[in-house]
Homo-oligomer: A and B are copies of this chain.
């Protein structure tokens, strides 16, 4: 008998009909002998409706009150799902974040979970009840209602799984697992049976938006096995776990990409200690997030410095960088907002040489010019012109034979 935490998102509970389908799935899992804790989001559309009400009053609602408002969305779902379960003869108890003491800090609208008291839930489980918990919300030490920010229900599920020492945290979504790359781009993309937390983090942060990054970090930190699977279709989904000895492991797990990149370069900066922070400090102060950073030393004791930002921040970043260039006496500033990033991700890279050169050759064979390169332990990223996105991803998927299941 296992203890499973199952999380169903807004689309999965988007109507009474769908809530009843979820109830049947939950009951089936319980009838199979497992203890079940369910975490649910607000019914799809409900959070937007509530935000709409607030915005009729003000563009700047008091953050504390916005949390009081938004937390009702999940509260409605937990009550309805519990009713649906009881109707099926499956005893159930609903709990708000506050009721099971999901203690958070006081950062309203983006609170972080500090602690969870599992006692009451364990009690219910022992009495044979399904426990239904509102995702996305908690309570601070003063008893104020907090929310974890949008998508935070995944984090609630993982945190509950960790606190209850669950055997698995199952995230039900509208996709049936994690793929080697986006199947809309590469029809031969293959669903992965397993992937490590680290790989998932690289995949997620690069645009495969299956799971909230924070929830994956959390799951990795507490070693909670995480499974992504479909609310609507049968299947085992993808299991996200720690890297295991002897685990069937491909060298490359997948290819992630990011469409919304832009790059900026400052050329001919007199090279001196601290120049990087002088360039990036003002960018950070303007609240612009920087992704890749590359610095080359030129021969004339000046340096060239390139970084990428989100395409939406390009104009602002360019303005800031021009001011910095003047101050530092740089030669010129250049930029390009028609670029994209493609990344190979895989823990197998650690023990396999030659991944990068295979990657560069595959791209070169298609005549794709690489504009930037950045590497980490389990990832190689390249920046190329945006017109090469599909061609590049498909070429790499083919070159690394990702459509084929790796040999054990």
Interface residues of A (CB under 8 A from B): 16, 19-20, 50, 53-54, 56-58, 61-62, 64-66, 68-69, 71-72, 75-76, 78-80, 82-84, 86-87, 92-94, 96, 98-99, 120, 143-145
By beta carbon, the residue of chain B nearest A134 is B68
Partner of A61, one of B61, B83, B93: B83
| B76, A62: Cβ atoms closer than 8 Å | no
Q: Determine if B16 and A56 form an interchain contact, defined as CB atoms under 8 angstroms apart.
A: yes
Q: Which of B50, B64, B76 contacts A69 (CB 8 A)?
A: B76
Residues of chain B within 8 A (CB-CB) of A84 are 57-58
Chain B residues whose C-beta falls within 8 Å of the C-beta of A56 in the assembled complex: 16
Q: Which of B20, B94, B143 contacts A99 (CB 8 A)?
A: B143
Q: A75-B75, A86-B62, A143-B99 are in contact. Are A54 and B69 (CB under 8 A)?
A: no
- A69 with B80: in contact, given A20-B57, A58-B87 (CB under 8 Å)? yes
Q: Closest Cβ of chain B: how far from A83's Cβ, in Å? A: 5
Q: How far does the alpha carbon of A101 sit from the alpha carbon of B57 in the complex, in Å?
A: 29
**CB atoms of A82 and B68 under 8 A apart:** yes
Q: In the bound complex, do residue A53 and residue B80 qualify as a contact, i.e. CB atoms below 8 Å apart?
A: yes
- Give the chain B neighbours of A96 by CB distance below 8 A: 68, 145
Which residue of A16, A20, A53, A78 has the most chain B CB atoms within 10 A of its CB atom?
A: A53
Neighbour of A65 across the interface among B53, B86, B145, CB < 8 A:
B86
Chosen A-B contacts, 26 in total, with CB atoms closer than 8 Å, are A50-B76, A53-B76, A54-B79, A54-B80, A54-B83, A57-B80, A57-B83, A57-B84, A57-B87, A58-B84, A58-B86, A58-B87, A61-B86, A62-B86, A65-B79, A65-B82, A68-B75, A68-B96, A69-B76, A69-B79, A69-B80, A69-B83, A72-B79, A98-B98, A99-B143, A99-B145
Q: Report chain B residues within 8 Å CB of A72.
A: 72, 75-76, 79
Q: Contacts A19-B57, A56-B16, A72-B72 given: A62-B80 contact, CB under 8 Å? A: no
Contact (Cβ within 8 A) B53 A16: yes
Return the 3 tightest CB-CB contacts between A and B, nearest first. A69-B79, A72-B72, A68-B79
